[in-house]
Amino acid sequence: MSDPYPTMDGLVCPVPLPHNQVIVLGHGSGGRLSYDLISQVFQEAFDNPILRSGNDAGMIVVPEAPDQVGTRLAISTDSHVVMPLFFPGGDIGRLAVCGTVNDVSMLGASPRYLTAGFILEEGLEVDILRKVVNSMKQAALEAQVQIIAGDTKVVQNGKADGLYINTTGVGIIPSGINISGTAAQPGDKIIISGTLGDHGIAVLAARGELNFDAQITSDVAPLNSLVSAMLQVSSEIHVLRDPTRGGLATSLNEIAIQSKVGITIYEESIPVKPAVAAACEMLGFDPLYVANEGKLIAIVGEKHAERLLTSMQAHPFGADAAIIGTVTDSPGDHVTLKTAFGTTRMIDMLSGEMLPRIC
């Protein structure tokens, strides 16, 4: 070569925007950017002990009493934006009902009532709205919840993607049930209720982004009957969480931080459908980070793990349930994965938007 050698000195890398000034799509990905936004903007403003518990739903006692005797309610809210509105296995309506039913169920509560707020885009066909609303009706019947209040707003054409739905849910927590993200204990077993990534990949496929045919159906489903079946066989359920955006990896990281424990999972035991695994291979995604809408993570006392697993596998929404890991007493490790090779790697939260790799 004519030139001598490229030098390494005095090089490189300007500091980029940290994205703490302007909202980017990654803030809605359920990963670390979302986590930072919640802690730096929302929690800072609204801080209170209920919100600070960091669970899928907030818990209140009615009537409020110093001795905390009364009916305990779980309350959660969730907004649903999905493109396309209809996808294999579900639609935005089913998603809006199940998403909130599941969040409420993750405190062990029995969901009873939902409210629904609709933001409709000018130009949306009423037939489409009717189809979505009928799907909500079906999902509510399935989950045995009633939709008891609602709201409708219409925005100008071009200001929304057809329609957005917010739902808020209320459920009753039976006495004796104390499930929380802070309750994982060293020695506990980690159970996942089924295969990972079905929803995320089904939606990508429905968007036409895969450029190949994928027979993948979203797992969107109400999990309250599964939770109630689990509660019938064991009182040793410490944590429940539905790993939606950000996937299993992000949820486990949140739990490890909340409970101040470490978590070890075993790669070979994690259930993933072959079609989802293949799509992830081609796109450069990791199923551990892909969204689910009908799965739950249960962290349970070791002695009850097998019993719970059997009860989950007997339920249609838990047929592929598997014990995938253990809680450890090394909180600094957060979440680690044991590979089939006997090696170990760290599993971090999803950082921002999930991006396909170049090659």
Q: Which residues bind other proteins (CB under 8 A)?
A: 1-19, 22-26, 32-33, 36, 209, 211, 274, 277-278, 281, 283-284, 336, 339-348, 351-353, 355-359
Q: Which of 304, 306, 190 has its CA nearest to residue 236?
A: 304
DSSP string spanning 232-263? HH-S-EEEEE---TTHHHHHHHHHHHHHT-EE
175 vs 343 by CB, closer to other proteins: 343
8 Å CB contact between 244 and 106: no
8 Å CB contact between 251 and 243: yes
22 vs 65 by CB, closer to other proteins: 22
8 Å CB contact between 117 and 154: no
Question: Which burial class, exposed, middle or buried, applies to 268 when counting CB atoms under 10 A from its CB (0-12, 13-18, 19+)?
Answer: exposed
Q: How far is the CB of 341 from other proteins (least distance, A)?
A: 5
Q: How far is the CB of 167 from other proteins (least distance, A)?
A: 27
Q: How far apart are CA 105 and CA 280, in angstroms?
A: 29
Q: Specify the 3-state DSSP secondary structure of 213.
A: coil
40 vs 235 by CB, closer to other proteins: 40
Q: How far apart are CA 155 and CA 187, in angstroms?
A: 52
328 vs 336 by CB, closer to other proteins: 336
Q: How far is the CB of 32 from other proteins (least distance, A)?
A: 6
Q: How far apart are CA 101 and CA 197, in angstroms?
A: 20
Q: How far apart are CA 191 and CA 71, in angstroms?
A: 29
Q: How far is the CB of 119 from other proteins (least distance, A)?
A: 21
Q: How far apart are CA 140 and CA 135, in angstroms?
A: 9
- Work out the widest C-alpha separation in the chain, in whole angstroms: 83
Per-residue DSSP letter, 319: T
114 vs 276 by CB, closer to other proteins: 276
Q: How far apart are CA 256 and CA 333, in angstroms?
A: 9
Give the phi and the psi of residue 280 in degrees, each rounded to 5.
-65, -40
316 vs 342 by CB, closer to other proteins: 342
112 vs 273 by CB, closer to other proteins: 273
Q: How far apart are CA 178 and CA 199, in angstroms?
A: 29
9 vs 213 by CB, closer to other proteins: 9
154 vs 277 by CB, closer to other proteins: 277
Amino acid at position 268, single letter? E
